[in-house]
């Protein structure tokens, strides 16, 4: 099987490429390197291009005739989205429509979309099921919701089948430390806690210790990037086997607090994490964790590396190598 992996030089996309290759499939990476890394393209051919550029996409479809498309290419930093909404809508929404347009032109009918739990905003129920009302409270989440809705409409033509996968907090790294998380700016918790532990940044800023949670810090659902990769393989297999479009959460089903992440980092690294407590950030929900019943039922999704110590151990192994510490 040949899979066109849009954004395949990025964090999650590169782990999916590695997983595809490990089972004998060919990942074709398509990336403009706005955030990706050339040394993460290791498991198949590269087409350098921009998803907003029809000619670039045509090159990928004509040269490689993929059986399916997996779409990771997006602008992801929530704060930048608030400052530059037009750029976010252009890349995340117009970019996705450009991809769907070229897929229709080249007769490619299977699409796996990276969505996010940010589409739920402040959920009314926990754990969060796929039936939760979608009311994102930031530009990033609204652009992802717009693509979800476009897929729902466009697939009614019968020419497109899609899987919308709503990830919770992707974390960890390849256990062999070959690839891992390298965002710039890095806004994700685990790399930043590790950086503080390693003495590579100032104190960790902990936002809010007065949430109505057991230890007062926010609770999130951390899912290992290799578990996410297995979820993508199952999703594309399901669609290629002729099943209908679907949408499901990819998480573990249980929450881990920011304080518990800090404790795990101290346990794994043996280093203290210097931190300062700041007021809550506007818009941060107290608790977000997935109901995983549907992903279990549709995909047989069963995370195996997503306990917090394993995630932190894998991330630490990668970062020690990457940072040279």
Ligand X SMILES: NC(=O)c1ccc[n+]([C@@H]2O[C@H](COP(=O)([O-])OP(=O)(O)OC[C@H]3O[C@@H](n4cnc5c(N)ncnc54)[C@H](O)[C@@H]3O)[C@@H](O)[C@H]2O)c1
The Cα 251–Cα 150 span in angstroms is 24
- Judged by CB under 6 A, the number of residues near ligand X is 27
Euclidean distance between CA atoms 170 and 314, whole angstroms:
13
Region from 19-27, 45-53, 123-131, 253-261 binding ligand X, contact rule CB under 6 A: 45-53
Candidates 140, 162, 211, 289; catalytic one: 140
Number of H helices, E strands in the chain: 11, 13
What are the start-end ranges of the H helices in 23-132? Answer: 54-64, 78-83, 85-88, 95-106
Provide φ and ψ at 112, rounded to 5°.
-115, 125
Site string for ligand X, 66-105 (x = CB under 6 A): ------xxx-x--------------x---x----------
Which letter does DSSP use for residue 124 in this model? S
SS3 content of the chain, % helix, strand, coil (to 5): 40, 20, 40
**In this structure, is the dihedral angle defined by the CA atoms of residues 151, 153, 154 and 156, taken in order, positive or negative?**
positive
**Closer residue to ligand X (CB): 119 or 271:** 119
CA angle 212, 218, 219 (to 5 degrees): 100
User: How many Å apart are CA 74 and CA 13, to the nearest integer?
Assistant: 11
- Choosing from 45, 52, 175, 216, the residue that interacts with ligand X (CB under 6 A) is 52
Shortest Cβ contact with ligand X: which residue? Answer: 10
Is 247 a binding residue for ligand X by CB under 6 A? The answer is: no
Write the binding mask 248 to 287 for ligand X: x where contact by CB under 6 A, - elsewhere: ----------------------------------------
Annotation marks residue 120 as catalytic: no
In the shown chain, the binding pattern of residues 179 to 218 toward ligand X, with x for contact by CB under 6 A and - for none, equals ----x-----------------------------------
143 is an interface residue for ligand X by CB under 6 A = no
DSSP codes, 268-314: HH-----EEEEPPPTT--SB--B--HHHHHHH----SS-SHHHHHHH
Check binding of 32 to ligand X (CB under 6 A). Answer: yes
Task: Work out whether 169 is an interface residue with ligand X (CB under 6 A).
Answer: yes
Least separation in angstroms between CB 29 and ligand X:
9
Q: Interface with ligand X includes 111 (CB under 6 A)?
A: no
Rule CB under 6 A: which residues touch ligand X? 7, 9-13, 31-36, 50-52, 72-74, 76, 91, 95, 114, 116, 167, 169-170, 183
* Active site amino acids: 140
């Amino acid at each position: 099987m040949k899979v066109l992996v849009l954004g395949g030089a990025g964090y999650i996309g590169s782990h999916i490429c590695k997983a595809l290759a490990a089972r004998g499939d060919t990942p074709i990476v398509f990336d403009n390197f706005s955030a990706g890394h050339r040394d993460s393209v290791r498991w198949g051919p590269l087409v350098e291009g921009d998803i907003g550029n029809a000619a670039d996409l045509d090159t990928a479809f004509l040269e490689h005739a993929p059986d399916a498309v997996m779409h990771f290419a997006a602008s992801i930093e929530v704060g930048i989205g608030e400052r530059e909404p037009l750029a976010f809508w252009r890349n995340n929404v117009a970019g996705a429509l450009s991809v769907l347009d070229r897929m229709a032109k080249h007769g490619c009918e299977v699409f796996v979309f990276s969505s996010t739990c940010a589409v739920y905003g402040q959920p009314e129920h926990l754990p969060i099921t796929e039936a939760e009302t979608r009311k994102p409270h930031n530009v990033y989440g609204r652009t992802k919701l717009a693509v979800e809705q476009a897929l729902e409409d466009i697939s009614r033509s019968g020419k497109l089948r899609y899987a919308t996968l709503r990830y919770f907090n992707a974390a960890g790294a390849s256990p062999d430390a070959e690839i891992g998380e390298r965002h710039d700016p890095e806004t994700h918790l685990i790399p930043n806690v590790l950086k503080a532990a390693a003495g590579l940044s100032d104190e960790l800023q902990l936002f809010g210790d007065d949430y109505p949670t057991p230890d007062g810090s926010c609770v999130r659902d951390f899912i290992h990037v290799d578990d996410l990769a297995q979820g993508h393989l199952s999703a594309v297999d399901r669609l290629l086997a002729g099943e209908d479009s679907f949408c499901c959460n990819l998480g573990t089903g249980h929450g881990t607090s920011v304080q518990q992440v800090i404790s795990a980092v101290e346990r794994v690294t043996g280093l203290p994490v210097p931190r300062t407590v700041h007021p809550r950030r506007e818009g941060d929900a107290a608790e977000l964790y997935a109901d995983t019943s549907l992903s279990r039922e549709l995909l047989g999704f069963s995370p195996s590396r997503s306990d917090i110590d394993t995630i932190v151990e894998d991330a630490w192994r990668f970062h020690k190598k990457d940072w040279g510490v």
